Homo-oligomer: A and B are copies of this chain.
Amino acid sequence: MTTKPWSLRECCENFAAAGIPHITIWRNVLEDIALEEAVKIVRDHPLSVTALCRGGFFPSVEASKRAEAIEDNKRAIDQAAALGAPMVVLVCGADPGQSLTESRRQIQDGITQLLPYAKEHGVKLAIEPLHPMYAGDRSAVSTLGQANDMAEAFDSEWVGVAADVYHLWWDPDLEKEIKRCGAGGNLLAVHVCDWKTPTSDLLLDRGLMGEGCIPLKEIRRWVEAAGFDGPHEVEIFSSTYWAEDQQDYLKRVVQAYREHC
């Protein structure tokens, strides 16, 4: 998603050429090609797949939509399994037409329904808490503490959490909660970018690492001290950067990662 204008093939070619060893695949690049072709593209490059993004969006005031969400999440698990992605990252969802408590209950229900399918296909489910500014319609899970509570309640090696600095950096409990999910084996994924001041858009104005005020190196120390040894994924949503030359931008992403993470 960091280089959204590119197709899966362009991402794979350019990431590999830049020496990036891993890729998380968002489902938008799978829409216009057969899954077998996507699998071939990935296998033709020296890249391991970190995760498939994204499943989730479980809550709805309508039962039919909740059922559709389960089916859609099963398709995400199918895609992840085919692509060799060890996990599907869950943007859990929220419906502004009901309470956060009800949305959270439906998220737990959704994961409960999905879990046997995930386990059967060897794909983990990573609960990603989203910034509280998305609590209205994107995620009723807003803090790593809530995500940890939920993951621990499942007590399954197939459910964990994804920690994205953009969503979590402000939280005074962040270090404690990173330790907690690390110690419990639940920290499955780490995403980095930066928080710009001012931020001009709620969704599409994330910064390159070093452009903002997130203490990236400090959080990395916490994450590593918690035992996490997976890839640190750059995830930047930016209408500004997506409008630029993606080759040039990718170079700056790599440089920013090396300098600031």
Q: Which residues of A contact B (CB under 8 A)?
A: 96-97, 99-100, 131-133, 135-137, 142-143, 146, 169-172, 195-200, 202, 212-213, 215, 218
Contacts and interface: CB of A to CB of B under 8 A. Distances in A.
Given A133-B199, A136-B198, 12 more contacts: A96-B197, A131-B132, A131-B133, A132-B132, A132-B170, A133-B133, A133-B202, A135-B195, A142-B170, A143-B172, A198-B202, A199-B202
Contacts of A197: 96, 136-137
Contacts of A99: 215, 218
A27 B96 CA distance: 34
Contacts of A213: 96-97, 136-137
Contacts of A170: 100, 132, 135, 142
Nearest to A141: B172
A137 B171 CA distance: 15
Count of this chain's copies in the oligomeric assembly: 2
B133 A146 contact: no
Contacts of A202: 133, 198-200, 202
A209 to B, nearest CB: 14
A194 to B, nearest CB: 10
A14 to B, nearest CB: 31
Contact of A136 (B143, B146, B195): B195
Given A96-B213, A215-B99, A136 B199 contact: yes
Contacts of A199: 133, 136, 202
Nearest to A135: B170
Contacts of A171: 132, 142
Q: Top 7 closest A-B pairs, CB basis?
A: A135-B170, A96-B213, A136-B197, A137-B197, A132-B170, A96-B197, A133-B133
